C-alpha cells in the first residue's frame, strides 16, 4: 500500500462472480485456514496482554504483561475466523472484498489480520515481520501514544470506526452503491443489532441494484452476549430469528459451531462448505441480473454465525464460566500480572495456539499462513475502497454561471433558491453518472431540488414499483428512506469508498445524526494525520426546511442547533455556510462539491425569496465569506458608521435589510453599515479556525466599538461564542432563535423570536447612544407596527400586507463614495 | 378533566380483561361507529380548511377558507377509523386504553376525536358544542396563536409529540411498564416504521411482563405513502411483512379495507370482527398469565391496518389520483380558496360526510355519536395516564445520610462514587417497588450501580433466560437494551404516564438521543404553560463513563458535548450537575428524584476517586451550587485573592486541587482561591436561568478582575458562553476537552488536553501579572514535569507514580480567617 503512486487514477480490482463446485477443503487449505485463525487469535491475545516476550521465547512473567489491561477479546476470535475463511474464497474465486467490522471491540483482531496478510508491515514499516516488530505490534495496542483498541482510521482495510455501534450495514450499503465488482462482508454484532440504526439498516437491500451495485453479505455474529447481558437475538430462538431475517428480505443461512468442544477442523469444514453455498447463491443472483432474468428483488443471502463469545479463551477462570459468556467481553484474565496463577493461565492460553507452528524464529508467519493472504490489493486490508481517497476522482462540475438568477433590481425577483440549485445539481448528475448521489429521508421534492433533479435521474428503489409511482426506478442517483441514520450511513460509506454526495434534510431533525457526525468528524480528524489515508470528498449537508419556515409544522420542527453541534468539532474539519440567495447558494455548492475532508453544513431556504447579488457579486461575496453590502449601507467613505447591522442566513438577511431600509428612510443622518455573513467560520479568529480572520480585518468590517445588531439564523449564543474575544464584542447584540417558535406565518414567527425588522430597528435605537430619547416616537411606532402585524396574523392567518408584499427598494443610497471592505483570504475557492 | 381535584391521589381506572363472544355489530353500533368516523373526518377537514361557516349552513365561498392551508390529511382518516372502533371495545369490555399516535401528522384527527368524546370542550371551554365552538376549533388549527398541526401537549389524551418520528412504540412500552390494567393502542405510521428507533422498538415485547405490565397493541397503519414516496413496508409483499412481524415476536393480524370503493359499512363490520378476535387473543394471554399458565413469551397480537392514504378525500383532483397516493399527504386541495372549481370540490368533499346527520343545528354531535364516547376517564382523550402528573406520586426517598462516605482526612479515601449512589438507589428501589425504574443500554454494571442495585432488584427480560444468566428475571426494576433510543423512549413513556426513573449511559453516546431530548424539552416547555397538564417527574441522566476516563476505549468514546446541546434548551427546563465526589453525588440525586418537569444531566465518574466533602459540607455545597472551598484556598480574609482556580467536574476538581497544592507549597505568598462548581447553571446570570446568580454574588466569588483559571469537564466554549457578560470574563481562562483525546492513561489524557495540574499552574503563572518572569524556574519545572509524566506513560503504559499516587495534603492552609463565600438561593433543595 505504501507504493500507491500519487496523482494517478487508481483502478480498483475487478471481481469475477464465478460459481464454484462444492468440494471439500483440501488438507492443505484446511491447515492454512486453521493456522491463520490460530495466528490471528494469538496476535490478538498478545496485543491485549503483552509488553514483551511476544513469541514466548522465555517463560512468561509479570514483567512481560501490560500493567493496565485494556481491550476486548470477546468478539475477536469470531472476526478472525470469518476473515480467514473469506481469504480462501477471495483466492479461489478471485473476488474483491471489503470487510466491515460491526463489533467495534474487534480492534485487535483486525490489526492481527492486517499484519498477517502483510498490509500492516507495508503501511507501518517498523511493525515488521520480526520479533521486534511483533513486540511493537503488541505494545502499541491500547497504549498511550499507540493505537486505539477499536477498529479505527489507523487500521488498514477499515472504513468503519468501531466506537459507537449501529452503522456497519449502512456503511456496507453505502460502499456497495456503484461498486458492482465489490462484495462487502458486513459483520454485524448481535449487540449492535439491537440499536435502532442497525435494525432498520437491513432494509438497505431494497435499494441495491443487483446489476449496477455491489453485494452486501451481512454476517450476524451471534455470540450471544454484550458487556453484561445476553443479546436479544440470541434469546428469541432460531425460528423467530430466521423469520426476522426473511422479513428483512434475506435468505438466512444458519451456522452454529464451536460449542461443547467441537473440533475446530470440523467447524472449519462445515463453515467453508456453507460459505461456498452462500457465494454460489450470490453468484447465481449476479448471473441472473446480468442475463436480465431477475424478475423480482433478490432475497440476498445472509449468514447467522453462532459461535461462542470469547471462543478459545480459558473456558473457566476462578470457577466462573468465561468462554461463551459475557465475562469474556473485555479482558478475561484481569489479574494476569498480579497473580502468578493467572500469569500461568495466560501463558497456557497463549501456548494453546501453538505459536511455534505459526511463526518462525524471527516472528514471521509461516508459509501455510502466508499463502492464505490474497495477492496485492485483493487483500481485504489493502482493498483500495477502504482508502477511498485513492479512488476518488474530482467531480466534473458544470459552470454555475449557466444558472444565474437575473433580476432587474435587487430584491425584486422572488425565487426558490434550492430549485435553482436543483437545476445545477441535475447537470452535476448528468456529468457524473457513477460517482455522485443525493441521499435524503423524503425531502428531495419537498426541498425543491425536484423537479429539476428528476429531469436527470430517478430515485433508486428495488421494492415493488407500481404504475402510480413517479420518478422511481431500479437505478437512479437519488436514494430516499425515512431514516436519517441510513441516509447518513449510506453517504458516509459512499464517501469513504471514494465517491461524492450530499444529504438533504430538515434542519431540526438532522440532530438525529448528531452522534454519527461526531464519529465521522473524528474519523476525518485522525485520518488527516495518517499519511497513507488519502483525502475523501467532504460530507455535505443541505438543510433547507429550516427553523424559520416551518409553516406546515411549527415548533416541533424547529431547531437550529445542529450548527452549534458541528462547531464543537475540530476547526480543521468543519465549515458552515448560510447563503442568502440563489446565486450565492450556487457558489457555495460548487465549493462544497470540490472540497475534501470537511463536514460542510449549508443552510438555505426553499421558499420563494428575494435575490440580492448578481453572479459576480455572489462569487466575490462567497470568496470573501463575509463583507459589507455597500448598496444596503448608508455610510460615508472614510467615516465610521454609527451602527452595523449584520445578518447571516436568508430570513435574517431579509429582516436586516428591511430594518436598514426603515432606518435609511426615517433617520436620514444615521450612518448604517450592512454586513452579510455567508461563511460563519469567518467570524472566528484566524488562530481558531482556518477560515478565521484577523482582528484587524474584523475591526475594519464590524468596527471596534459601534453597536452591532446581529440578525442570526440560529441560537444567539453561537455568535457570541464565535466573537467573544473581538474588540467590539461587548457591543454585539444578537437576535436569533430563542425557542419561542410555534406559530405558523413567517413574519409572526420572526416576531415571536424578536428577529423581525421592527425589533431590529428598536435595537438600533436602543444601542446607538442618544437615539432612543431623540427618537422615542419612532421607537413607539416600531412597537405599534409589531403589535399591528401580530394582531393581523392572528386574525387573518396570514402576514400583514405591508410585510408580505414588502420589496427591497433599490434606489441609490443617500451617501456615496463608500468603498467595499471585505475579508480576504480563506480557502473558499469559488 | 377540568374537575380533577388538586393534591389528591388519583386512582386510575381498572381494566377487566374480559373475553367477548364474537357477535356481529348491531345496526345501532355500526351506525355509531360510522357516524363517529364521518364526524371525525368532517372535523379534520374543517380544521385544515375552514375559517368560517363550520356547519356549512351557507354555501361555501373563498372567504370561509383559510388563506394559508397548513396541515396534513393523509393519515387522519385511518386514525379516526381506529379511534372509533376502539371506543366500541372500551365500552363493551370496560377497558382502559391509551391511544398513541405515531403518525405525527395526524394532529387534526386527534383533536377531532377529543372534541367528539367531549374531553376537548371540558378542557378548553370556549371550544364547546356550538357553532361558535366548532368555528374556533377549526380556526385555531395550525393558525398563528392557535394549536400546532401535530399531536402535541395541547392535545388531550396524548403523551406523544408528533414532530420527529420513530418513538411511538417505545413510548407505548414505557407507558405499559407497571400499568397492568392499561392497553396501549400504538398506531405506527408506515413512514415512521422506516426509522431506526422504530425498527428496533418492536423488540420492546421482550421486556414486557404479561402479568405486571400493561399490553401494547401495535397497529401498523400501512397507508402506503410518505410525503413523496411509497413506504418500504408497503412494497415488500404481505408474506415478507408478516414474516417480519413474526420475527419481531408478534402474531400479525392482517386487515385490508377501503380499496376499490368497498362499502364503508362492510369495512367496519370486518374490522370490528378482527378487533374482537385480537382483543380476545390478548385476553387469553392475560388470563394465562394470571393463571400461571404462560410457559413462554407470548407472541402478542399486532394489526397490519392497510387502508388508503387520504381515505374519503376526492379520489382524483385535476386528473391526478389523490386518494390512495402520496398526493393526499398534506392538503389535497391546495387551491381551495383561489379556484372556484376547487372551492366546489371542497364543499362537496365536506358534504360527502353528511354533516347534517352528524351534528345538530347548534353544532353538537348527535346522540348516535355521543353514545360511542366511553364514560369519564375511560375516554381515550381523558385517560389519566395521558396526563401523568395526575397520577404521579412523590417517591419515598430514603435518607442519603445513611450512605455517607466517611474519611479521616480530605482526599485520603478513594471511592467509586457511583457505587455509593447505587447503594442509595437500591434503597429507593426497595421503597418504591412499582413506580421507579432504571433504564440503560448495558451500563448498570459497568457504571458501578451494580452490584448494589442488584441486591434490591433484577433486570427485567422476557426472552429466554438461561442458567448462566445473572440478575435477570421476568420482573425487575432495571431494563437494559443496547439502544439508547429505546432507553430514552421507554423512560419518557414511563415519566409521561406519571412515574419516575433515570437513564444511565455513556456520556459520548448519549448524543444518540440528542434529537429526542429536543422533543422532550419542547414537550416540557409547552406543558408548563398548559394549566391542565400536571407536572411530571424530571428526565434524569446519569452520565458516568465520561470523557476523561475512557481508558478501555479512547477517542471514539470521548465527547462531552451533550451538556452544550442541553444548554441550548429553554432555561426553565434544563439543569446540569457535576458533583465532584460521592457525598455531593448523593445530594444531587436526592434533588433530581424529587424534582419535576426538568431535564437533569448529572455527570459523575465511576472510577475510584478521592472524597473531599463530608456530609454537611456536601449538603451545603449542593444547596449553593457553587462556592469557595476554603480548605483548599490560601487567601487572607478581607483581602482579594491573587488568582482564582475554579473547577467543575470530578477530574477537573482533582487536577485543580493538585495545582492549588503545588502553588501553596511553591509560592507561599500567592493568595489562591479555590472555587468548585457543581450546579453549572449557577454560572449564568439570574436573568438568564432560574439558578443563575446576580453579578454581585458572582463577583464576590470569582472577583471582578483577577485571573480565573477554570478547569472544566467539557468544551471550553461553554464556560465562556455562560459567563461572557460577567465582569471578570476577559480574565477567565478555561481548560477543558479540546478534541485531542485518544490516549489510554488518565493523566496522559488530561495532559493531551491541557487540563493537567502542571498546565494549570503554568496558567496561573502566566496570567497573574509578574509571576511568569519572577518564577520562570517554576514555569520550566512544570513543563519538565509534564514531559516527564508524558514520557513515563508512553513508556510504561501507566501514569507516573508521582501523579498516580498523589493524595491531597490536608494540612492547614497558610492563611487563616477566611470566611466562606457561597452563592445563595436557587431551588436546589437538598
Inform me whether the pLDDT recorded for B2 exceeds 60: no
Cα–Cα distance measured from residue A236 to residue A232, given in angstroms and rounded to the nearest whole number: 7
Q: Which of A421, A385, A362 is nearest to A213 (CA)?
A: A385
Cα B41 from Cα B35, distance rounded (Å): 10
What does the alpha-carbon distance between residue A262 and residue A283 come to, in Å, rounded to a whole number? 31
Strands (E), A353-499: 414-416, 436-440, 459-460, 472-473, 478-480
CB of A733 within 8 Å of a chain B CB? The answer is: no
Q: Is A248 in CB contact (< 8 Å) with chain B?
A: yes
Rounded distance between C-alpha atoms, residue B59 and residue B53, angstroms: 8
What integer pLDDT is reported at residue A447 of this predicted model? 87
DSSP symbols for A464-510 = ---TT--SEESS-SEEE-S-HHHHHHHHHHHHHTT-EEEEEEETGGG
Give the cell for residue B577: 450537575
Instruction: Please write the tens of the pLDDT for every residue from B284-320.
Output: 999 999 999 998 999 999 999 999 999 999 999 999 9
DSSP of A152-189, one letter per residue? -TTSTT----SSS-S-HHHHHHHHHTT-TTEEEEEEEE
Does the pLDDT at position A823 exceed 70?
no
Q: Would you state the pLDDT for residue A51? A: 97
Q: What is the mean pLDDT of chain A?
A: 94
Q: Under an 8 A CB cutoff, do B744 and A717 touch?
A: no
Nearest CB partner across the interface for B483, out of A104, A196, A486: A196
Residue of A nearest to B72 (CA): A552
Distance (Å) from the alpha carbon of A149 to chain B's nearest alpha carbon: 6
Chain A positions touching B793 (Cβ under 8 A) are 144-145
- CA within 13 Å, CB half, B573: 23
Q: How far is B458 from chain A (nearest CA, A)?
A: 12
In angstroms, rounded to a whole number, what is the distance separating the alpha carbons of residues A39 and B723?
57
From the number of C-beta atoms within 10 Å of its C-beta (0-12, 13-18, 19+), residue A383 rates as buried
Closest residue to A244, CB basis, from B145, B244, B748: B244
All residues of chain A having their beta carbon less than 8 Å from the beta carbon of residue B552 are 70-72, 142, 149, 330
- Residues of chain A with C-beta less than 8 angstroms from the C-beta of B51: 797
pLDDT higher than threshold 50 for residue B495 = yes
**What percentage of chain B has pLDDT greater than the value 90?**
89
Whether residue B103 lies within 8 A of chain A, CB to CB, comes out as: no
Residue to mutate among B142, B144, B242, B460, with most A CBs inside 10 A, is: B144
Chains A, B: CB contacts within 8 A come to 360
B791: which chain A residues are within 8 Å (Cβ-Cβ)? none
- Condensed to tens digits (0 to 9), the pLDDT of residues B243-256 reads 999 999 999 999 99
Mean pLDDT, chain B, as a whole number? 94
CB contact (8 A) between residue B464 and residue A236: yes
The contacts found for B259-266 with CB under 8 angstroms, 24 or more apart, are B259/B307, B259/B308, B259/B324, B264/B34, B264/B37, B265/B30, B265/B34
**Does the pLDDT at position B475 exceed 80?**
yes
For CA atoms A494, A500, A505, A508, give the dihedral sign. positive
pLDDT digits (tens, 9 = 90+) for B188-236: 999 999 999 999 999 999 999 999 999 999 999 999 999 999 999 999 9
Q: Which residue has cell 479556525? A: A689
Which 3 state secondary structure label does DSSP give A345? Answer: helix
Rounded-to-integer distance, Cα A107 and Cα A172, Å: 18
| Residue of chain B minimizing CA distance to A461 | B232
Q: Does A508 touch chain B (CB under 8 A)?
A: yes
Q: Is B17 exposed, middle or buried (0-12, 13-18, 19+ CB in 10 A)?
A: buried
φ, ψ for residue B685, nearest 5 deg: -75, 150
As a whole number, mean pLDDT of residues A409-434 equals 96
What pLDDT digit, counting tens, does each position of B381-424 carry? Answer: 999 999 999 999 999 999 999 999 999 999 999 999 999 999 99
Reading the block at residue B344, the C-alpha cell is 366546489
**How many other CB atoms are found less than 10 A from the CB of residue B314?**
18
In chain B, residues 360-399 whose CB comes closer than 8 Å to chain A: none
Yes or no: say if B317 and B332 are a contact pair by the CB < 8 Å rule.
yes
Q: What is the pLDDT of residue B828?
A: 54
Asked if the Cβ–Cβ distance from A194 to B483 is below 8 Å, we say yes
Q: Which of residues 478-497 of B touch A (CB under 8 A)?
A: 480-486
Among B70, B162, B486, the residue with its CB nearest the CB of A551 is B70
ipTM, 2 dp: 0.96
Residue B448: CA count within 13 A, CB half-sphere: 16
Buried b (16+ CB within 10 A) or exposed e, B682-695: bbbebeebebbbee
Q: How far B247 CA lies from chain A's nearest CA (Å)?
A: 4
B70 contacts in A (CB within 8 Å)? 551-552, 744
| Residue carrying the nine cell digits 443622518 | A669
Question: Cell numbers of B392, please?
Answer: 404521579
Chain A residues close to B557, C-beta within 8 Å: 163
3-state percent helix, strand, coil for chain B, nearest multiple of 5: 40, 15, 45
Please report which confidence band the pLDDT of residue A77 belongs to, taking 50, 70 and 90 as the band edges. Answer: very high
Residue in chain B nearest A330 by alpha carbon: B552
Cα–Cα nearest to A82, from A355, A276, A268: A268
Residue of A nearest to B247 (CA): A244
Using an 8 Å Cβ cutoff, are A98 and A185 in contact? yes
Within B690-739, residue ranges assigned H as helices are: 695-702, 716-723
Q: Which among B145, B150, B721 is the nearest to A794, CB-wise?
A: B145
Alpha carbons B726 and B720: distance in angstroms, whole number: 10
Contact B552 A71 (CB under 8 A): yes
Q: Which of residues 513-552 of B touch A (CB under 8 A)?
A: 514-515, 518-519, 522, 525-526, 551-552
pLDDT, tens digit, 9 for 90 and up, residues B427-455: 999 999 999 999 999 988 888 998 999 99
| Alpha helix (H) residue ranges in B324-449 | 340-351, 355-358, 367-370, 417-431
Residues B142 and B149 sit within 8 Å (Cβ to Cβ): yes
What 8-state DSSP symbol labels residue A235? G
The answer to whether A189 faces chain B, any CB pair under 8 Å, is: no
Q: What is the three-class DSSP state of A536?
A: coil
DSSP-based three-state secondary structure for B96? strand
* pLDDT tens digits, A708-717: 999 999 999 9
Distance CA B112, CA B373 (A): 13
Of A161, A444, A717, which is closest to B556 when you measure between CB atoms? A161
Q: Which residues contact B795 (CB under 8 A, 6 or more apart)?
A: none
Pick from B64, B199, B727 the residue to mutate for testing the A interface (most A CBs within 10 Å): B199
DSSP 8-state symbol, A73: -
Whether residue A715 lies within 8 A of chain B, CB to CB, comes out as yes
Write out chain B residues lying below 8 Å of A472, CB-based.
229-230
Please report the beta strands in A570-659, taking only residues with DSSP state E, as ranges in sequence order: 574-577, 599-603, 608-610, 626-628, 643-648
**What is the C-alpha to C-alpha distance for residues A210 and B707, in angstroms, rounded to an integer?**
65
Residues of B in contact with A236 (CB under 8 A): 206, 249, 463-464
Angle, helices A27-49/A131-140, rounded to nearest 10 degrees = 60
Cis peptide before B509 (omega within 30 of 0): no
Which residue of chain B has the CA closest to A729?
B724
C-alpha cell at A497: 469508498
Q: How confident is the model at residue A1 (pLDDT cuts 50, 70, 90)?
A: very low
Cβ atoms of residues B561 and B511 within 8 Å: yes
Of chain B, the percentage scoring pLDDT greater than 70 comes to 96
| Structural domains present in chain A | 28-384 (3.40.50.970), 409-609 (3.40.50.970), 613-805 (3.40.50.920)
Mean pLDDT (whole number) for A63-72: 94
The separation between the first and the last C-alpha atoms of chain B, rounded to the nearest angstrom, is 34
Residue B742 has pLDDT above 80, yes or no: no
Q: How far is A395 from chain B (nearest CA, A)?
A: 28
What gap in Å lies between CA B439 and CA B500, rounded to an integer? Answer: 11
The answer to whether B236 faces chain A, any CB pair under 8 Å, is: yes
Helix (H) or strand (E) holding B752: helix B746-752
Q: How many residues does chain B have?
A: 830
- Ramachandran class of A647: left when φ > 0, alpha when ψ lies in -120 to 50, beta otherwise: beta
Whole-number Å distance between alpha carbons of A232 and A248: 17
pLDDT tens figures, A457-470: 999 999 999 999 99
**Reported confidence tier of residue A5, pLDDT bands at 50, 70, 90:** very low
Amino acid at each position: 500500500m505504501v507504493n500507491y503512486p500519487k496523482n494517478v487514477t487508481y483502478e480498483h480490482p475487478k471481481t469475477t462472480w464465478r460459481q464454484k463446485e462444492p468440494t471439500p477443503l483440501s488438507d492443505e487449505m484446511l491447515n492454512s485456514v486453521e493456522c491463520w485463525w490460530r495466528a490471528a487469535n494469538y496476535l490478538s491475545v498478545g496485543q491485549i496482554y503483552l509488553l514483551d516476550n511476544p513469541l514466548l521465547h522465555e517463560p512468561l512473567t509479570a514483567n512481560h504483561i501490560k500493567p493496565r489491561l485494556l481491550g476486548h477479546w470477546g468478539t475477536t476470535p469470531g472476526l478472525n475466523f470469518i476473515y480467514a475463511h473469506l481469504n480462501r474464497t477471495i483466492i479461489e474465486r478471485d473476488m474483491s472484498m471489503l470487510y466491515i467490522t460491526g463489533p467495534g471491540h474487534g480492534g485487535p483482531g483486525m490489526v492481527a489480520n492486517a499484519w498477517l496478510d502483510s498490509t500492516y508491515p507495508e503501511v507501518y514499516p517498523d511493525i515488521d515481520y520480526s520479533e521486534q516488530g511483533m513486540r511493537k505490534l503488541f505494545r502499541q495496542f491500547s497504549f498511550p501514544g499507540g493505537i486505539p483498541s477499536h477498529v479505527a482510521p489507523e487500521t488498514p482495510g477499515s472504513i468503519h470506526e468501531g466506537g459507537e455501534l449501529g452503522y456497519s450495514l449502512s456503511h456496507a450499503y453505502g460502499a456497495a452503491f456503484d461498486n458492482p465488482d465489490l462484495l462487502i462482508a458486513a459483520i454485524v454484532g448481535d449487540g449492535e443489532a439491537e440499536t435502532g440504526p442497525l435494525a432498520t439498516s437491513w432494509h438497505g437491500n431494497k435499494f441495491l441494484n443487483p446489476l449496477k451495485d455491489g453485494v452486501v453479505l451481512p454476517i450476524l455474529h451471534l455470540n450471544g452476549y454484550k458487556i453484561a447481558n445476553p443479546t436479544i437475538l440470541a434469546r428469541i430462538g432460531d425460528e423467530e430469528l430466521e423469520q426476522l431475517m426473511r422479513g428483512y428480505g434475506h435468505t438466512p443461512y444458519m451456522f452454529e459451531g464451536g460449542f461443547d468442544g467441537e473440533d475446530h477442523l470440523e467447524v472449519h469444514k462445515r463453515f467453508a462448505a456453507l460459505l461456498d453455498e452462500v457465494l454460489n447463491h450470490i453468484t447465481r443472483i449476479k448471473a441472473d441480473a446480468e442475463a436480465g432474468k431477475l424478475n423480482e428483488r433478490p432475497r440476498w443471502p445472509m449468514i447467522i454465525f453462532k459461535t461462542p463469545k470469547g471462543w478459545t479463551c480459558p473456558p473457566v477462570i476462578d470457577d466462573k464460566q468465561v468462554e461463551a459468556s459475557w465475562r469474556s467481553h473485555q479482558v478475561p484474565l484481569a489479574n494476569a500480572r498480579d497473580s502468578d496463577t493467572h500469569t500461568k493461565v495466560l501463558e497456557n492460553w497463549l501456548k494453546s495456539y501453538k505459536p511455534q507452528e505459526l511463526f518462525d524464529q524471527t516472528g514471521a508467519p509461516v508459509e501455510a499462513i502466508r499463502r492464505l493472504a490474497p495477492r496485492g490489493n485483493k487483500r481485504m486490508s489493502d482493498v483500495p475502497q477502504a482508502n477511498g481517497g485513492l479512488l476518488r476522482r474530482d467531480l466534473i462540475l458544470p459552470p454555475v454561471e449557466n444558472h444565474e438568477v437575473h433580476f432587474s433590481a435587487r430584491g425584486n425577483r422572488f425565487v426558490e433558491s434550492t430549485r435553482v440549485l436543483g437545476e445545477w445539481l441535475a447537470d452535476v448528475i448528468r456529468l457524473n453518472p457513477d460517482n455522485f448521489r443525493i441521499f435524503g429521508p423524503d425531502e428531495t421534492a419537498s426541498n425543491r431540488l425536484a423537479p429539476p433533479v428528476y429531469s436527470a435521474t430517478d430515485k433508486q428503489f428495488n421494492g415493488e414499483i407500481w404504475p402510480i409511482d413517479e420518478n422511481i426506478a431500479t437505478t437512479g442517483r437519488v436514494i430516499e428512506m425515512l431514516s436519517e441514520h441510513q441516509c447518513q450511513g449510506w453517504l458516509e460509506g459512499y464517501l469513504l469508498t471514494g465517491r461524492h454526495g450530499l444529504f438533504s434534510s430538515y434542519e431540526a431533525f438532522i440532530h438525529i445524526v448528531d452522534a454519527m457526525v461526531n464519529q465521522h468528524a473524528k474519523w476525518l480528524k485522525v485520518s488527516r494525520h495518517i499519511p497513507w489515508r488519502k483525502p475523501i470528498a467532504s460530507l455535505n449537508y443541505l438543510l433547507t426546511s429550516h427553523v424559520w419556515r416551518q409553516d406546515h409544522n411549527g415548533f416541533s420542527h424547529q431547531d437550529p442547533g445542529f450548527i452549534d453541534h458541528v462547531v464543537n468539532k475540530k476547526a480543521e474539519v468543519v465549515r458552515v455556510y448560510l447563503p442568502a440567495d440563489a446565486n450565492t447558494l450556487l457558489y457555495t455548492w460548487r465549493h462544497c462539491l470540490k472540497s475534501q475532508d470537511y463536514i460542510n453544513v449549508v443552510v438555505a431556504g426553499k421558499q420563494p425569496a428575494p435575490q440580492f447579488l448578481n453572479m459576480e457579486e455572489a462569487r466575490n461575496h462567497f470568496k470573501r465569506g463575509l463583507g459589507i453590502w455597500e448598496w444596503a449601507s448608508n455610510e460615508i467613505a472614510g467615516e465610521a458608521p454609527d451602527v452595523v447591522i449584520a445578518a447571516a442566513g436568508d430570513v435574517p438577511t431579509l429582516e436586516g435589510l428591511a430594518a436598514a431600509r426603515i432606518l435609511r428612510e426615517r433617520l436620514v443622518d444615521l450612518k448604517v453599515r450592512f454586513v452579510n455573513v455567508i461563511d460563519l467560520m469567518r467570524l472566528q479568529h484566524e488562530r481558531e479556525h482556518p477560515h478565521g480572520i484577523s482582528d484587524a480585518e474584523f475591526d475594519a468590517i464590524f468596527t471596534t466599538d459601534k453597536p452591532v445588531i446581529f440578525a442570526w439564523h440560529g441560537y444567539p449564543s453561537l455568535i457570541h461564542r464565535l466573537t467573544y474575544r473581538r474588540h467590539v464584542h461587548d457591543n454585539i447584540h444578537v437576535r436569533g432563535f430563542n425557542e419561542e417558535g410555534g406559530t405558523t406565518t413567517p413574519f409572526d414567527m420572526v416576531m415571536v423570536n424578536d428577529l423581525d425588522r421592527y425589533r431590529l430597528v428598536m435595537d438600533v435605537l436602543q444601542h446607538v447612544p442618544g437615539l432612543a430619547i431623540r427618537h422615542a416616537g419612532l421607537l413607539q411606532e416600531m412597537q405599534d407596527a409589531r403589535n399591528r402585524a401580530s394582531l393581523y396574523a392572528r386574525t387573518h392567518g396570514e402576514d400583514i400586507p405591508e410585510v408580505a408584499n414588502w420589496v427591497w427598494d433599490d434606489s441609490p443610497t443617500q451617501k456615496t463614495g463608500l468603498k467595499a471592505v471585505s475579508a480576504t483570504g480563506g480557502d473558499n475557492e469559488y
